[in-house]
Chain A
Amino acid sequence: DQQVKQNSPSLSVQEGRISILNCDYTNSMFDYFLWYKKYPAEGPTFLISISSIKDKNEDGRFTVFLNKSAKHLSLHIVPSQPGDSAVYFCAASDIDSGGGADGLTFGKGTHLIIQP
């Protein structure tokens, strides 16, 4: 049973335009969400996070939006650059699991391709 879902295995966007990556979750106990970026032959790299007390968090070109009622989050990249081409993973955590949190629950990733 997949608790974090990224329904688009791949997404192609033109350079300079906005990239929107989506993620849905089913576990209502999740209250902290993260996005990671992964290049081939490397480990995932942390990009941006958001806790459930917020609905938006920005860091430079990256903005994450959280809609708790819909159990949906999205990552916006504006403007998209060629170096953004990578696999993006959505991850979630329950920080109030009592005495320490489990590891992150990851989606299966979306391969973002930025076209020149």
Chain B
Amino acid sequence: DSGVTQTPKHLITATGQRVTLRCSPRSGDLSVYWYQQSLDQGLQFLIQYYNGEERAKGNILERFSAQQFPDLHSELNLSSLELGDSALYFCASSAYHRAYNEQFFGPGTRLTVL
């Protein structure tokens, strides 16, 4: 158990809908990262937050957004969903904002868009 929790475990929705994925980092970790794992692309970095502020962006679509709240939990919002958004979404946390510290991953949320 990494100490990172993600809810829900599974989500099934329809195209055009909007969903919110939630992540609670390990106790004491200030950085939260979101990753998408699809069959053909592997694990792709989406976005990073550090202590409530956005720190880095990766391959995140404009339809996706995230935020980190004062209690350090984070939410990833996916809107106008398309079939191709079906994937595993992982959240990871680390102690510092620099990736020198290893990131600890949650169990993931499996999103299926029908």
Contact = CB atoms under 8 A, between A and B. Distances in A.
A43 B42 contact: no
B105 A45 contact: yes
B58 interface: yes
Contacts of A100: 48, 50, 55-56, 97-98
A108 B38 CA distance: 10
Tell me which of B42, B43, B44, B56 has the highest count of chain A C-beta atoms within 10 A of its own C-beta.
Answer: B43
Contacts of A109: 42
Contacts of B43: 44, 89, 91, 104, 106
B100 A95 contact: yes
Contact of A46 (B45, B104, B108): B104
Interface residues of A, number: 26
A1 interface: no
Nearest to B88: A43
Given A43-B2, A109-B42, A103 B58 contact: yes
* SS class, residues of chain B in contact with chain A: strand
Given A102-B48, A102-B58, A103-B33, A43 B108 contact: yes
Contacts of B44: 106
Contacts of B45: 102-105
Interface string B1-38: 01010000000000000000000000000000101000
B61 interface: no
A94 B56 CA distance: 12
A43 B4 contact: yes
Tell me which of A42, A43, A89 has the highest count of chain B C-beta atoms within 10 A of its own C-beta.
Answer: A43
Contact of B98 (A46, A49, A101, A108): A101
A34 interface: yes
Contacts of A95: 98-100
